Amino acid sequence: MSQTITTTDKKPAPRPDVVGGHTLSMFVNNEPGVLMRICQIFARRAYNIDSLVVSQGRDPQFSRLTLGISGDPAGLSQIILQCDKLIDVIHCYEHTPDDSVTREMALVKVSVDSGEKRTEVLQIVEHFGGKTVDMSEGSMIVRIEGASDKVDAAIRLLTNYDIVETVRTGKVVMARGEQST
């Protein structure tokens, strides 16, 4: 018995009391329970973690967390201060588009039952600098990478076709110039 789960990629309408699009970078000790303690800070302040990427640092005793967040604008600076106070957090920093490079990647599986649809999908993917990573008679998987708004725009155009699945990485961020992330 198989179970099919259908999801939509449509986002709810933005609320004026909620700030979105903020990106935090944290450098933390690579220890069990650190992520849970960080998430509790966000939950207590009614913030949502929209994307989360965690990876081991160059030194395996540390990890880097990149969080895309949304919530009440009044609580953002308090969250950063509270995260910085956690023992296992080395530093927590908010990045803006001016001081950092932010990218994400999406894999999108599209059902293409005709040559015409396949050609149209390939044109969209090419326009956004994407790549085809898998192709069969009835479907294809494409990879789109770049800034979040670019990935959003590509997915929005692909919704005119039969999207079977979408998987996104979440944001990764690196500070520009000499500043450390």
User: Which domains, from first to last, does the chain contain?
Assistant: 19-95 (3.30.70.260), 101-174 (3.30.70.1150)
Q: Is the dihedral of CA 158, 160, 165, 167 positive or negative?
A: positive
55-64 in b/e form (b: 16+ CB < 10 A) is eeeeeeeebb
Query: Tens of pLDDT along 10-29?
Result: 554 544 444 457 899 999 99
Q: How confident is the model at residue 163 (pLDDT cuts 50, 70, 90)?
A: very high
The per-residue pLDDT for range 31-42, each reduced to its tens digit, is 999 999 999 999
Contact 42, 73 (CB under 8 A): no
pLDDT for position 6? 45
pTM for this prediction: 0.74
Per-residue pLDDT at 1? 45
Mean of the per-residue pLDDT values of the chain: 87
Name the packing angle between helices 148-158 and 115-127 (round to 10°).
Answer: 170
For the cut 60, the answer to whether the pLDDT of residue 75 exceeds it is: yes
Question: Beta-carbon neighbour count of residue 167 at 10 Å?
Answer: 10
pLDDT of residue 150: 94
Q: What is the pLDDT of residue 27?
A: 95
The pLDDT of residue 178 is above 90: no
Average pLDDT, integer, range 164-181: 88
Q: What is the pLDDT of residue 4?
A: 46
